[in-house]
Amino acid sequence: MYTLGIDIGSTTSKCVILEDGANIVASSLVVGGIGTSGPEQALSRVFQDSGLTREQMDGVAATGYGRNRCGETELKVSELTCHGLGAHFVFPQVRTIIDIGGQDAKVISLDDAGRMQNFLMNDKCEAGTGRFLDVMANILCIPVNDFGDWAAKAKAPASISSTCTVFAESEVISQLAAGTETADLVAGICASVAGRVASLAKRINIVPEVCMSGGVAQNSGVRLALAEAIGQPIEFSPLAQLFGALGAALYAYHKIK
Amino acid sequence: MSEEIKKHRPPPDPNSAKYKLGQIAAKAYSDAQEAKDRGEMVGWCSSNFPVEIPETLGLAVVYPENQAAGIAARGGGERMCQISEADGYSNDICAYARISLAYAKIKDAPEQNMPQPDFLLCCNNICNCMIKWYENLAIELNIPLIMIDIPFNPDYEVSDAQVAYVRDQFWAAIHQLEEITGKKWSDEKYKEVMEYSGRTSRAWLAATACAHYEPSPFNGFDLLNHMAVMVTARGKKEAAEAMETLLKEYEDNHAKGVSTFRAEEKYRIMFEGIACWPYLRATSTGLKSRGINMVTTIYADAFGFIYKDFDDMCRAYCKVPNAINLEYARDKRVKLCKDNHVEGLLVHTNRSCKLWSGFMYEMSRQIGQECNIPVASFDGDQADPRNFSEAQYDTRVQGLTEIMEINKEAK
């Protein structure tokens, strides 16, 4: 039995095909989320890589901000549930998931069976999300994927005190002009995101073990700063950005099983 | 040109509570305009000011909060807020205040007009921003302001000292109004108003309590509309009769197994905070489409006043939801959740209302823990449409629904 999960986020689109709710047959991730050709590209890539077709899918579920505009499926499920299912699949011992995506941050609590018990999300402000990091990467002319390597080289991480993205942007520009080392600035930016998300996480009861999901999970600079801020090690999987799509495929599997 | 197809709606039943309540709410504005046209003085009044005072004196008053909600619900919120902001008011202050200050300046809003005031009645038991809002109105319009101070109550009970403090202010307000308007206080008339206010409040609270039936005989969003009468007209005979009709209809609905909630009631939630008026349809549809009925809200309770004499009335106005401490406020909500078999709590983090939203993080955490229900919150505003994202709302409501579904399956 094959099930397909589609996660249409604000900046990327992801797909996962699962066999019998247990084996990942193929996955895809393309830049371009809701309102772009990203979802179609992600779908055609996952079918191409798997050698399977839409007709061979026994169940399909969509998640992410674009889930309601996805004509591929009857099943629509929130990314909260999907990140929970995806994280539980990879790390069965995890009870707290911190998901930092393109435009929001979420903290999700699971019970022992991996069912969502509670969640918290950021307010309307984009500080503490992937978008904040994108804006900073743009000023520094460094790919956001390299932030982890840069942060590791920091000698005296800069203090970024502004919460607001716009204010933080001018703060980083001022520090650049004042000669602050790029590595120190990157480490400060990572710590700023981590501090904001840690405040959110601490409002929920952080039960170990903890893992990260979403695109920002790839960023070891933020991940390590966040682990320090919450006082807990954070599990990481290279599949972290696919947890939403993986969870959607699992959801579809459980619905039709 | 395409022909407009209008959905046929049967004419409203003039004996229905909905019709009667709609008429009373509309008449509050037309009565005030007629009084103004006759040359009588008209007041602007804050929502938790003792309505019994102007009612006993036979004064026509209108309610800026009610007007601002109407303007916002009909799409005029942003336009009015921007007028105030251009005058220097921060967009961090209450959007009702910004709309009202704009209306006092331009004196026209097609969404909901009302007569300009000759005096102002303000009570700070519901909101502190209101003090400066009304002071500025008084200065801008050069008219008298009567301000009643009801302090925040850190205790569960209202002390005799607090009653005395408030009683003296109420009497001072009465005497000031007699002087300003030439109207005279009558104890006989007050008794009559008190009786109607009590009847209206008892029927209203009993009607809202019908939500304990499963399924609830009404859609909780109905309360948000009917509440206008509780704010503006609770001391009137017509209001008492209309609320008694509403109660009877809800009891009849329950007996017949029908409801004004036009969907299968799969989940029952409490809604916390003032309605997000600019997006009433979006917030309501997001719930109804998932079979979620908002069966209770503290906001509805806020306008039910039951008392037996003047001192008791003072005490009642000292116990309105925003004037009480966190623990008491939490216990009232926990009772509503338990009485009405609530399965989840949806919190509107209302950018306009710092007082209310500020303590909600902690209060909602305690309610969730005490009632063992999931809690989700969303950002919005009671009247400024720039503070709400429908996609973010939808995700939070869906997440809440999925936890309620998991909890149901686990039972």
pTM, two decimal places: 0.89
Whether A80 and chain B come into contact, CB under 8 Å, resolves to yes
Residues A207, A166: one domain? yes
Residues B219, B260: contact at Cβ < 8 Å?
yes
Whether A81 and chain B come into contact, CB under 8 Å, resolves to yes
Residues B70, B112: contact at Cβ < 8 Å?
yes
Neighbours of A138 (CB within 10 A): 11
Residues A155, A100: one domain? yes
Residues A70, A20: one domain? yes
The encoded tokens of residue B362 equal 């902690």
CA B149 – CA A213 distance, rounded (Å): 51
Q: Which residue on chain B is closest to A83 by alpha carbon? A: B399
CA B187 – CA A203 distance, rounded (Å): 53
Q: Measured between alpha carbons, how far is residue B348 from residues A128, B314, B334, B378 in Å?
A: 21, 30, 17, 5
Q: Which of B354, B389, B390, B398 to mutate to test the interface with A (most CBs of A within 10 A)?
A: B398
The encoded tokens of residue A137 equal 């990467």
DSSP type of residue A216: G
Residues A210, A177: one domain? yes
Cα angle, residue A93 at apex, residues A89 and A94 outer, rounded to 5°? 80
CA distance A144 to chain B (A): 25
The encoded tokens of residue A246 equal 């993986």
Is 90 exceeded by the pLDDT of residue B42? Answer: yes
Whether A116 and chain B come into contact, CB under 8 Å, resolves to yes
Q: Which of A81, A103, A122, A164 to mutate to test the interface with B (most CBs of B within 10 A)?
A: A81
Cα angle, residue B329 at apex, residues B325 and B335 outer, rounded to 5°? 150
What residues of A are in contact with residue B394 (Cβ under 8 Å)? 68
Residues A116, A228: one domain? yes
Is 60 exceeded by the pLDDT of residue B1? Answer: no
Residues A13, A6: contact at Cβ < 8 Å?
yes
Query: Which of these, A256, A257, A248, lies nearest to A86 by C-alpha position?
Result: A248
Query: Which of these, B264, B240, B236, B280, lies nearest to B72 by C-alpha position?
Result: B280
Q: Decide: residue B117, CB within 10 A, 0-12 exposed, 13-18 middle, 19+ buried.
A: buried
What is the SS3 assignment for B134-199?
HHHHHHHHCCCEEEECCCCECCCCCCHHHHHHHHHHHHHHHHHHHHHHCCCCCHHHHHHHHHHHHH
Q: How many domains does the structure of chain A reveal?
A: 2
**Angle between the B220-233 and B17-37 helix axes, to the nearest 10 degrees?**
30
* Chain-chain contact of A80 with B379 (C-beta, under 8 angstroms): no
Per-position DSSP letters for B21-51, written without gaps between them: HHHHHHHHHHHHHHHHHTT--EEEE-TTS-T
Give whichever of A121-135, B140-154, B303-317 has the largest mean pLDDT: B140-154
Distance of CA B111 to the CA centre of its chain: 19
The encoded tokens of residue A101 equal 């995506």
Q: Measured between alpha carbons, how far is residue B405 from residues B303, B343, B408, B411 in Å?
A: 33, 10, 5, 10
Structurally, what CATH architecture does the domain formed by B17-184 represent? 3-Layer(aba) Sandwich (3.40)
Is 50 exceeded by the pLDDT of residue B3? Answer: no
Query: Which of these, A98, A16, A27, A60, lies nearest to A251 by C-alpha position?
Result: A60
What residues of B are in contact with residue A123 (Cβ under 8 Å)? 349, 379
Q: What is the mean pLDDT of chain B?
A: 93
Query: Which of these, B115, B116, B133, lies nearest to B124 by C-alpha position?
Result: B133
Is 70 exceeded by the pLDDT of residue B8? Answer: no
CA B200 – CA B306 distance, rounded (Å): 9
Residues A139, A226: one domain? yes
Residue numbers of the domain that contains A245: 1-91+238-257
Whether B354 and chain A come into contact, CB under 8 Å, resolves to no
Residues A116, A154: one domain? yes
Query: Which of these, B224, B332, B228, lies nearest to B287 by C-alpha position?
Result: B224
Task: Give the residues across from B347 on adjacent strands.
Answer: B272, B377
CA B314 – CA B234 distance, rounded (Å): 16
**Residues lower than pLDDT 50 in chain A:** none
* Chain-chain contact of B349 with A123 (C-beta, under 8 angstroms): yes
pLDDT in tens, B83-117: 999 999 999 999 999 999 999 999 999 999 999 99
Query: Which of these, B406, B400, B196, lies nearest to B287 by C-alpha position?
Result: B400
pLDDT at position B357: 84
CA distance B172 to chain A (A): 44
Residues A215, A249: one domain? no
pLDDT in tens, B244-289: 999 999 999 999 999 999 999 999 999 999 999 999 999 999 999 9
Stretch among A107-111, B320-324, B326-330 having the lowest mean pLDDT: B320-324
Neighbours of A215 (CB within 10 A): 25
Residues A109, A215: one domain? yes
pLDDT at position B358: 84
The encoded tokens of residue B379 equal 């950002």
Q: Which residue on chain A is closest to B347 by alpha carbon? A: A120
pLDDT in tens, A115-143: 999 999 987 776 678 888 888 899 999 98
User: For B88, how many CA atoms within 13 A lie in the half-sphere containing its CB?
Assistant: 1
Strand-strand pairing, A96-100 and A23-31 = unpaired
* Chain-chain contact of B392 with A116 (C-beta, under 8 angstroms): no
Q: Report the CATH number that the domain containing residue A112 is assigned in CATH.
A: 3.30.420.40
Query: Which of these, B356, B361, B403, B408, lies nearest to B382 by C-alpha position?
Result: B356
Whether B387 and chain A come into contact, CB under 8 Å, resolves to yes
CA B259 – CA B219 distance, rounded (Å): 7
Asked if ipTM goes beyond 0.85, one says: no
What residues of A are in contact with residue B403 (Cβ under 8 Å)? 116-119
Res. B12 pLDDT band, cuts 50 70 90: confident
Residues A63, A105: one domain? no
pLDDT in tens, A57-101: 999 999 998 888 777 567 999 999 999 999 999 999 999 999 988
DSSP type of residue B104: H
CA distance A204 to chain B (A): 9
pLDDT at position B305: 82
Res. B205 pLDDT band, cuts 50 70 90: very high
Q: Which residue on chain A is closest to B402 by alpha carbon? A: A81
Annotated domain spans of chain B: 17-184
Q: Which residue on chain B is closest to A200 by alpha carbon? A: B361
Any idea how long chain A is? 257
A124 → closest Cβ in B374, B389, B399: B389
- Rg, C-alpha atoms of chain B: 21
In the chain, the amino acid numbered B109 is: A
* Chain-chain contact of B398 with A65 (C-beta, under 8 angstroms): no
Stretch among A61-75, A98-112, B131-145, B353-367 having the lowest mean pLDDT: A61-75
Residues A107, A225: one domain? yes
Res. B2 pLDDT band, cuts 50 70 90: very low
Res. B7 pLDDT band, cuts 50 70 90: low
Query: Which of these, A123, A127, A86, lies nearest to A241 by C-alpha position?
Result: A86
If contacts are CB pairs under 8 Å, which of residues 203-222 in chain A contact chain B?
A: 203
Residues A208, A136: one domain? yes
The encoded tokens of residue A206 equal 């952080």
